[in-house]
Structure 1
């Protein structure tokens, strides 16, 4: 095992060869040294690269970096300059390569005066992940335009500690497969709707009603109903999200988001002509003739359409404020998180760092109104940018890379939580504040991000920090790669979770919590890990999902109890208890 190798030896080894890249790879990922074109191949999977980064920070970072020579050489670009087979053979037998007279090995030894024995016990899988990370980082250095110094590979060195809490899970149901090959399902959201009913959906088009905690029936199939519906390209395209009007039992209205091919119809929010469009994102309103029916029958209309630069980071959470009552201004207003569409690193950062563009924002609209440009929805008069010249009145807040989930604390504080998936360094939980700028692409977490520098790095904040709003909880990529929000627990069956905001990591399946009372604007609340058990035994979601990417989602039921969903295999687990161990 790699962890059995003395850190100094591994550090010297990698030090002599240089290199950085990956994090967790999957069994389907190519690990041969050469591709068909004869070029070296390195792991690119997000989990392989993350794992490689974790190993690098643990064993190599004390001797190596990617900006300058230290105890060992600068590793930037080593995977592009040196043949991979040479790198692997050197790690396997450094003295032998040096004694053979190899020019590079001899030159490195003469410069650094470090000599080590071979380490054949280093597992190939771990080494592949390390090189994958080095390679990815080197690619980032190559695309850098300004060679900015001072980058941080590991912005939060301290590891998140496990709490004394263990969530007890019980499998409740398995959603039917929507494809023959993996991922068999793409389940994404589960929550109760007005009328005390419980719904769940699959990105490939089906909206299900869950009955008696264990059976499913199809309420609506967008793929069959909408002729231009598409769930390609990307992991997030398809039937993205949904929200039922708070007065659904009377007016029969609900809303969905989905994708359609480029050019299907003119976009209400189009990119400039010089920018390539990969897919369109659409918000629809549905009006059922019978709100009590188990299947949809009625009409639908389009509210708005947006061009997206890529199939990633598109429309995310669609929701109503559950705390709003008919006598408040927020009642019946629809919130929608919109990602940057990968525009920031696709050469178009101006599209997602301004209140003049819709990308990288949370919008707030009135589906019953008509004062929008297209006349199909309304712009609330109290939206923060309504009276700002040249700004979009729809925008409620800006500065998001990928605002994945939105929820509210139902237990008195009324806090609004917006989780934002970061680039390569930080994952965020933010408090929702009207008019706030959360920083992307100039900030990632509580750090500076530079689109013209290596995108695998962040930097310390400058003294003239600007008027940005920072997350109230965050973690870096030693802990995970993509945050999954998240609910302030509001049920009654697990009292140990009261006062806690529960969230997780999509890829790794790690579960976290922060105390709601400690999540205060301008501060970062401590984050704690939660253990998980089933049938009285501790379990790892990565193992029970039989894949390194867990694809974790969280949901709630009609009683506000908490559920864990694994997107790719369709498993739905209920949190039925919480064991507290007194430390």
Structure 2
């Protein structure tokens, strides 16, 4: 068995990495198919998105499985050498494919593929190892065809604005997306919007004239001329200028916050912003902070990236240049570049004098730790880490002074009513935990109960499920022991959740503090054709254009570009403590792939498909996010073609 694990870590961890797709084929038809033909078809649906037509290593086939590199592994050039899998028997390979290895992102195929189908996949891939193989080649699909019913409603989209091209036009990876705009926010009290591009720029958009103006440029890495010399955006995914948010009192104090990523390995350059890049920026009082303390163990890896929150005070809001000061609020380490701190938001329902007034919520991913072995695997469960958590802090040192304590770096405050402030060894900033990647948070304010807002987290999954959670004080959402409506372990793969479901409360890798019942998702969709790869974000629709969407949560999938809605009453009813209760979701048809492909080519995109690839999306990522303006109207941002489109109607 040891030989099997070694083999699969080095080779088969990259084999069949797509989430298992249920192939709806009648038993009589399946029985008549020849093994190689059947195996070829199954390979095309479940494997070819990453491994191409002839079972190549994922990197050679054009995909990149980041977790393999993160674990110190190396993609093999081919899976089909003469001694495929370096000599593991068919029985050994069959067992592991069936059970899966969650710690290396290989899902369990039990329940999705029958025993016969798994054997046929093994037989087909073995046939590719022979130069004399007569089996036909399996073509990698460019996009998964949706399954299930045809959408009853279709969104009508209109071009709103094209962002300047900032991507690497020569790349067929996510760095080749034309522009990486991910957030559009209306400036409070004005007719302007602010838009970020992860590659570095922060723009101001005049909504009346549609004129786009550069405001701040964060990218000072390498030969770039922006503010931050250690700025890191070139890996793609969640990196670069990742977020920004206006202070709730922005119209009076001119304060806004930004979140960006830096590479601490760039030790030859300063962590300070460059003087003179922004003429009106006064850096006299600016200083950097050490990264927040992290737990240490013998298996910890060095810091891979650092996430930096900066407070900006603009003394002349309303013009198109910045004049004022900046202050570093915090710097947080990440043991890997994936799934970092990615969200900063304020409670929009809070008013001066409220306990939540000007208190910031942070969505922090697990940095891939949930896929690793050893103590790091349970970082999201441990109260002595920041990874896989919702944090709650007071960025202003002058707010809530009597009801908070000063942070370890002295740059922000921690509310005394956070749930773990009295737990010895716990991070006092933690509000909720047990999440893989809560990369976007959305607030819902019920007009009938405006002082009781609901916080929703859009959480990217690992093996089987993309989820939406209702975030509650002190709640534990189970990852990496739970995902969606299933239990998950590194030994048994995906299983039903126990009837009496409790998990231990971990203060550290050696200290426990009782048990807790996990809190479960209210929406989930699978890593299958008809589902998607990674949940984007969403909003409870409150605009006036589209009466049909009133009372619904509209959300999307990043890679496939699919958009769904769920009725709000169903979402709230699903918060009943039963892991099997989920709000039904309904697809909204769009032409987003066709629109993105056409625009990508019109704007000079050099590749036959959109850049990048993913397990379900196949070749070509839409890279979709949603946005809403101050009136509650919706917008669709697509990085692939660098476009922002407005949602104008539903038919």
1:130-279 matches, cutoff 5 A:
161-181=149-169, 182-196=176-190, 197-212=192-207, 214-223=210-219, 224-262=226-264, 266-272=290-296, 274=298, 275-276=300-301, 277-279=303-305
Retained in 1: the 8 A contact 2:185–2:193?
yes
CA–CA distance in structure 1, aligned partners of residues 37 and 297 of structure 2: 46
1:398-437 matches, cutoff 5 A:
398-412=433-447, 414-437=453-476
Distance apart, 1:329 and its partner CA: 1.1
1:338-378 residue CA offsets vs partner (Å, 9 max, x unmatched): 00000111332132212221000011100113611111101
1:570 corresponds in structure 2 to: 642
Instruction: Please state whether the residue corresponding to 1:519 is helix, strand or coil.
Output: helix
Retained in 2: the 8 A contact 1:419–1:484?
yes
2:88 corresponds in structure 1 to: none
Q: Which runs of 5+ in 1 are unaligned?
A: 47-62, 93-121, 131-157
CA–CA distance in structure 1, aligned partners of residues 339 and 245 of structure 2: 19
1:113 corresponds in structure 2 to: none
Distance apart, 1:446 and its partner CA: 1.4
2:587 corresponds in structure 1 to: 529
1:371 equivalent to 2:413? Answer no
1:383 corresponds in structure 2 to: 418
Aligned length, in residue pairs: 495
Distance apart, 1:315 and its partner CA: 1.5
Retained in 2: the 8 A contact 1:15–1:72?
no
CA–CA distance in structure 1, aligned partners of residues 429 and 259 of structure 2: 17
Distance apart, 1:542 and its partner CA: 6.6
Instruction: From the superposition, tell whether residues 244 and 75 of structure 1 become closer, same or farther in structure 2 (CA, over 3 Å).
Output: farther
Instruction: Please state whether the residue corresponding to 2:116 is helix, strand or coil.
Output: coil
Retained in 1: the 8 A contact 2:256–2:311?
yes
1:488 equivalent to 2:514? Answer no
Instruction: Please state whether the residue corresponding to 2:330 is helix, strand or coil.
Output: strand
Instruction: From the superposition, tell whether residues 444 and 88 of structure 1 become closer, same or farther in structure 2 (CA, over 3 Å).
Output: farther
1:539-578 matches, cutoff 5 A:
547=610, 548-578=620-650
Retained in 2: the 8 A contact 1:366–1:380?
yes
1:438 corresponds in structure 2 to: 477
CA–CA distance in structure 1, aligned partners of residues 157 and 98 of structure 2: 43
CA–CA distance in structure 2, aligned partners of residues 20 and 31 of structure 1: 9
Retained in 2: the 8 A contact 1:333–1:365?
yes
Distance apart, 1:159 and its partner CA: 5.7
Retained in 1: the 8 A contact 2:336–2:367?
yes
1:248-327 matches, cutoff 5 A:
248-262=250-264, 266-272=290-296, 274=298, 275-276=300-301, 277-327=303-353
1:49-198 matches, cutoff 5 A:
66=98, 72=116, 74-75=118-119, 78=122, 82=126, 84-86=128-130, 89=133, 91-92=135-136, 124-125=139-140, 161-181=149-169, 182-196=176-190, 197-198=192-193
Distance apart, 1:10 and its partner CA: 5.0
Instruction: From the superposition, tell whether residues 404 and 574 of structure 1 become closer, same or farther in structure 2 (CA, over 3 Å).
Output: same
CA–CA distance in structure 1, aligned partners of residues 34 and 125 of structure 2: 20
Distance apart, 1:433 and its partner CA: 0.9
2:524 corresponds in structure 1 to: 474
Retained in 1: the 8 A contact 2:199–2:233?
yes
1:359 corresponds in structure 2 to: 387
Distance apart, 1:318 and its partner CA: 1.1
CA–CA distance in structure 1, aligned partners of residues 229 and 498 of structure 2: 50
2:506 corresponds in structure 1 to: none
1:50 corresponds in structure 2 to: none
Q: Which runs of 5+ in 2 are unaligned?
A: 1-22, 66-93, 100-109, 170-175, 220-225, 268-288, 398-404, 503-516, 601-608, 611-619
Out of 553-562 and 9-18, give the one that drifted further: 9-18
CA–CA distance in structure 1, aligned partners of residues 533 and 324 of structure 2: 41
CA–CA distance in structure 1, aligned partners of residues 548 and 55 of structure 2: 50
Instruction: Please state whether the residue corresponding to 2:445 is helix, strand or coil.
Output: coil
Taking structure 2 as the reference length, the TM-score comes to 0.69
Instruction: Please state whether the residue corresponding to 2:590 is helix, strand or coil.
Output: strand
CA–CA distance in structure 2, aligned partners of residues 34 and 164 of structure 1: 39
Retained in 2: the 8 A contact 1:172–1:574?
yes
Out of 413-422 and 71-80, give the one that drifted further: 71-80
1:345 corresponds in structure 2 to: 371
Retained in 1: the 8 A contact 2:596–2:640?
no
